[in-house]
Structure 1
Amino acid sequence: MPLVDMPLEQLKQYEGLNPRPADFDEYWDRAIAEMKAVDPQIELVPSPFQVPYAECFDLYFTGVRGARIHAKYIRPRNVAEPHPAILQFHGYTGHSGSWHDKLGYAALGYSVFSLDCRGQGGKSEDAGGVKGNTHHGHIIRGLDDHPDQLLFRHIFLDTAQLAGIAMQMPEVDPERVMAMGGSQGGALTIACAALEPRVKKLAPVFPFLSDYKRVWQMDLAKDAYAELRTFFRHFDPQHKREEEIFTKLGYIDIQFLAPRIRGEALIGIGLMDTICPPSSQFAAINKITAPKRLEIYPDFGHEDLPGFNDMTMQFFLEA
């Protein structure tokens, strides 16, 4: 078969190229403590969109650094409580999507929480100086500041905070909360389950935000990773700070969060992926020590993986 990366057997052994910051664990322990100190000021606003078997709400909460974060929340009617819940995370620059594509899980008796990432295409704000969206450049936001200012630090914390909020809802069984998403959503699924290890099951698809230096080495700092090239061209054109920059990116590299995961994982991977190259994905996947199952699609890239959504639903129904 054709290859865009390493052979599969090498991928299964690959441990990543990006440097890990020496104080990585302290960094995230400090971040989690900051998150837990925030008063979320939760607000539920009934949506104009409603269906007979579920209630639909716009959920707002305050995240770290004062940003107001939005998620769609669907709560099934007339089901046993407490019941399971699904956390959904979207792709880079996108948003939480339409209500209708979440109703399948609600019909099964699951609450659904679908996050809008701060500053991207939905209703969550980026409180870093402006109101409204900032859309692109989130990987490099804060890269020339203290590592605690990295924007993806805050977005990762939003996922964990949403998980905690879901687990505190009286109608939700905190021991049956699951997470899912593709690309950026796959990365956030891994980050969420790492920072909130009570997440019971996770189903990431071709996860983004992993092994940045490998992406650079493969000359794939384009498309979703294009801002890496932009940053070097504008702010370090001779790569004199290359090691420093990739080390700082290591704080928001999901491969180093992956060992914290305790939930069971179902992972979808396309071996022809040139957006999030397979080796960058395996750098994170290989560090998950919890039970995991890989569903590999040799001829598929960064696209719909046939049958994987059905596998995910069956996987969650077994919880």
Structure 2
Amino acid sequence: MPLIDMPLDQLQSYQGRSPRPEDFDAYWERALDEMRSVDPQVELVPSSFQVPIADCFHLYFTGVRGARIHAKYVRPKNASKPHPAIFQFHGYTSNAGDWSDKLTYAALGYSVFSMDCRGQGGLSEDTGGVKGTTHCGHIIRGLNDHPDNLLFRHIFLDTAQLAGIAMNMPEVDPGRVGAIGGSQGGALTLACASLEPRIKRLAPVHPFLSDYKRVWEMDLSSNAYAELTTFFRQFDSRHEREAEIFEKLGYIDIQFLTPRIKGEVLMTVGLMDTTCPPSTQFAAYNRIISPKSLDIYPDYGHEQMPEVSDRTLQFMLGL
């Protein structure tokens, strides 16, 4: 089999290259305290899209820094109360997707919450206010500011806040909730279950936002990670701040969050992935200490892989 990364036996024990900030745990406890202090002011607005088997709503809530966050909420008609729910997270720069792609779960009696990431392709707000560049990407947004102002900190918190809001709804069984997503959505699936440990099952696919230094050293800071190259070229062209930059990125590196996960994990990796290299994904997977399993696709890269949606659905039927 051709290799674009380490051999499989090395991937299975790989622990990452990026530095973990010494105050990482305190950083995220402080972040969660900020999230819990926010009055979410939840609003449900019926959508113009409706179907016989489900009620469809726009759900809005206030996240950290005052941003109004939007999610699509699909609730099965005549479902038992309480019933299970799925949190769905989208890929980088995209949005919550079509209403119709949530209906399979609704037909099975599951509510679905699909969040728009702030500042990306959907309806969620980005309230801004950060010092430094906002050019070319969200990983680097806040790198020239205090770590508490990193944009992905806020996005990770949005996922946990949405989960908490949903699990407090009388129609949702908080003991039967799952999270799914690919690429950025895979990263947010892991982040959500790390910051809201009541998530019972999660199925991330080729997750993004892990082990930034490894991406850099592999010379793969292109495509989704291209903003790392842009940042160094424009703001640290001699790499005098390289150690500082990678340590600051450690606050929003999912590999350091995954030990907090309590739920059961089914993760999918393609070994030919040059967008989110396999080693960066294994760095996150190998730190998970809850029950876990890994689906490996040796010949696939960062793309749709056969049967992943079917296997994810069957996994979530165990909620």
Partner of 1:277: 277
Normalising by structure 2, what TM-score?
0.98
Q: Tell me if 1:311 matches 2:311.
A: yes
> In 1, Cα distance between the equivalents of 2:110 and 2:197?
20
Q: Which amino acid aligns with 2:139?
A: I
Partner of 2:176: 176
> In 1, Cα distance between the equivalents of 2:7 and 2:102?
36
> In 2, Cα distance between the equivalents of 1:129 and 1:308?
39
Q: Tell me if 1:68 matches 2:59.
A: no
Partner of 2:114: 114
> In 2, Cα distance between the equivalents of 1:79 and 1:237?
57
What secondary structure sits across from 1:35 in the alignment?
A: helix
Cα RMSD of the aligned pairs, angstroms, is: 1.0
What secondary structure sits across from 1:17 in the alignment?
A: coil
> In 2, Cα distance between the equivalents of 1:270 and 1:30?
35
1:4-31, Cα deviation, whole Å (9 max, x unpaired): 0001110000000000000000000000
> In 1, Cα distance between the equivalents of 2:111 and 2:169?
10
CA drift of 1:305 comes to: 1.2
1:35-74 counterparts in 2 under 5 A?
35-74=35-74
Contact 1:120/1:135 (<8 A) preserved? no
1:54-203 counterparts in 2 under 5 A?
54-129=54-129, 136-203=136-203
Partner of 2:246: 246
Any runs of at least 4 consecutive aligned residues in structure 1 with deviations exceeding 6 A, and if so which?
Answer: none
> In 1, Cα distance between the equivalents of 2:229 and 2:94?
21
Go from structure 1 to structure 2 and tell me whether the alpha carbon gap of 1:164 and 1:136 turns closer, same or farther (over 3 Å shift).
farther
Go from structure 1 to structure 2 and tell me whether the alpha carbon gap of 1:271 and 1:110 turns closer, same or farther (over 3 Å shift).
same
1:168-189, Cα deviation, whole Å (9 max, x unpaired): 1110000111000000000000
Normalising by structure 1, what TM-score?
0.98
CA drift of 1:135 comes to: 9.1
Q: Which amino acid aligns with 1:18?
A: S
Partner of 2:231: 231
Stretches of structure 1 lacking an aligned partner (at least 5 in a row): none
> In 2, Cα distance between the equivalents of 1:93 and 1:205?
17
What secondary structure sits across from 2:86 in the alignment?
A: strand
> In 2, Cα distance between the equivalents of 1:58 and 1:265?
29
Q: Which amino acid aligns with 1:22?
A: E
Stretches of structure 2 lacking an aligned partner (at least 5 in a row): none
> In 2, Cα distance between the equivalents of 1:126 and 1:62?
11
Q: Which amino acid aligns with 1:122?
A: G
> In 2, Cα distance between the equivalents of 1:81 and 1:135?
46
Q: Which amino acid aligns with 2:224?
A: A
What secondary structure sits across from 1:45 in the alignment?
A: strand
Bigger shift: 224-233 or 121-130? 121-130
Partner of 2:217: 217
What secondary structure sits across from 1:157 in the alignment?
A: helix
CA drift of 1:136 comes to: 4.5
> In 2, Cα distance between the equivalents of 1:156 and 1:226?
21
Give the total of aligned pairs: 316
> In 2, Cα distance between the equivalents of 1:136 and 1:172?
38
> In 2, Cα distance between the equivalents of 1:215 and 1:318?
35
What secondary structure sits across from 1:288 in the alignment?
A: coil
